[in-house]
Amino acid sequence: MGVVAPNGSGQQEFWESQVAGRSGIRKLTRFDATLHNVRIAGEALIPESLADPQMDLTRTDRCTQLAAAAAKMAIVDGGLDGFDLSDAGIVSGTGWGCVESLEGSHRNFVTDGPEAVQARFAPMAMNNNTPAWLAIRYGFGGPATVTTSACCSAADALIVAHQMISSGEADLVMAGGAEAPLTPHIVAGFDRLGVLSRDNDIPEQACRPFRATRTGMVLAEGAAYLILESASHAAARGRAPVAKFAGYGRSSDAHHMLRLHPDAAGAERAIRSALRSAGLRPDEVGYVNAHGTGTAGNDAHEALALRKVFADRATRPAIAGIKSLTGHTLGAAGAIEAVATIQAIAHGTIPLSAGAGPLDAALDIDVVLGEPRNVDLRAALSNSFGFGGHNCVLAFTRP
């Protein structure tokens, strides 16, 4: 696994930030946000040690730069450095893709006309730039594709990788996602929807999932990739699994582009489908990494779905929302939070949900507050829900 997130780059720093409740949300510096209502964000730091000498930053979008750093870590962590990847696949998810390049080129076009648009603009701005660049850089010669399903994009990428391996199309697939949405247009657009927190004076506390005082989500950038492999292929090269990708569930609300289904029916179907796919009973799930954006409607909608599936109060799983620490990385969130979920299983520790104010009692779910919770964790779910009614739930178990 490899991760580049606002609250930490690399598995160790990322995990330590989770258990310490250390937020990566700060004042927005990617552009001058003086005139914006929202002036906070989760900005990721690419360590100098991960700078790729073959990456020309003038010809590569920020989204691909974040992806390259996370992918490099995953490849090294998976023992694939120098490994023949000619049959290996790659699936990369993104909601907005290389939007920084698109906005920048459009500004040049409006200001100076068609001749100001550079030839490299087209390949830089396409959504498939990221998996294509990674395939070229590291020699992934198997299936290479991109998934785009709003905030489910990276979770969908992991599901597609799972299907590639299950069908025999590939024995090894690197899957995850990257997002770099911190541009003037994107920030303004989400703010106009009324879903962003404007708590500019308290950035570290601005995202408060499941709190009675929650005021909205915080946009963020980041990337994460995981190496998925068939058990036989991993054993043949002497690699022990960190976790088992046990199953998944997907559904559509089929309801509205923005408004959530009033009965949380789509989210409930996805959770139940993931349990069936993984062969799990509800009482066997010890932890759910919630989508938990910190908006009033989304948190209530997710809590309703969780109450319906995990109806027995005595065996309800613990809930945590790490977007309080990372911000919402949109299309990359499913992969970043898959890493967090797997780390929780590996460490036997459920991270806390940060944020000020009391828990919203009306939600009636077991949210981990104050400090991490040490448990014998055998199975966990990771939820991703997106605009348009996309629902993805991933199930992981101890190997």
Say if CB 13 and CB 86 are below 8 A apart: no
Report the candidate in 166, 167, 172 with the shortest Cα–Cα distance to residue 141: 172
Residue of 151, 152, 207, 392 marked active site: 151
Q: What is the pLDDT along the chain (399 residues), one digit of tens a residue?
A: 999 999 999 999 999 999 999 999 999 999 999 999 999 999 999 988 777 777 766 678 999 999 999 999 999 999 999 999 999 999 999 999 999 988 888 898 899 999 988 888 888 888 899 999 999 999 999 999 999 999 999 999 999 999 999 999 999 999 999 999 999 999 999 999 999 999 999 999 999 999 999 999 999 999 999 999 999 999 999 999 999 999 999 999 988 887 888 899 999 999 999 999 999 999 999 999 999 999 999 999 999 999 999 999 889 999 999 999 999 999 999 999 999 999 999 999 999 999 888 999 999 999 999 999 999 999 999 999 999 999 999 999 999
Residue owning tokens 């629902």: 391
Say if CB 88 and CB 173 are below 8 A apart: yes
- The question of whether 291 is a catalytic residue gets the answer yes
Q: How far apart are CA 197 and CA 40, in angstroms?
A: 9
Q: How far apart are CA 239 and CA 16, in angstroms?
A: 25
Q: How far apart are CA 265 and CA 270, in angstroms?
A: 9
- The question of whether 63 is a catalytic residue gets the answer no
Beta-bridge partners for 391: 251, 385
Tell me the HSE value of 51 on the side-chain side, using a 13 A CA sphere.
Answer: 6
Q: What local confidence, expressed as pLDDT, does residue 57 receive?
A: 63
Residue of 162, 261, 328, 390 marked active site: 328
Q: What local confidence, expressed as pLDDT, does residue 394 receive?
A: 98
* CA-based torsion, 142, 99, 24, 302: positive or negative: negative
Residue of 291, 301, 390, 392 marked active site: 291
Q: What local confidence, expressed as pLDDT, does residue 313 receive?
A: 86
Report the candidate in 43, 386, 35, 334 with the shortest Cα–Cα distance to residue 182: 43
* Alpha-carbon 287 to chain mean position: 17
Q: How far apart are CA 7 and CA 332, in angstroms?
A: 14
- The question of whether 151 is a catalytic residue gets the answer yes
Which tokens sit at 371?
A: 């400090």
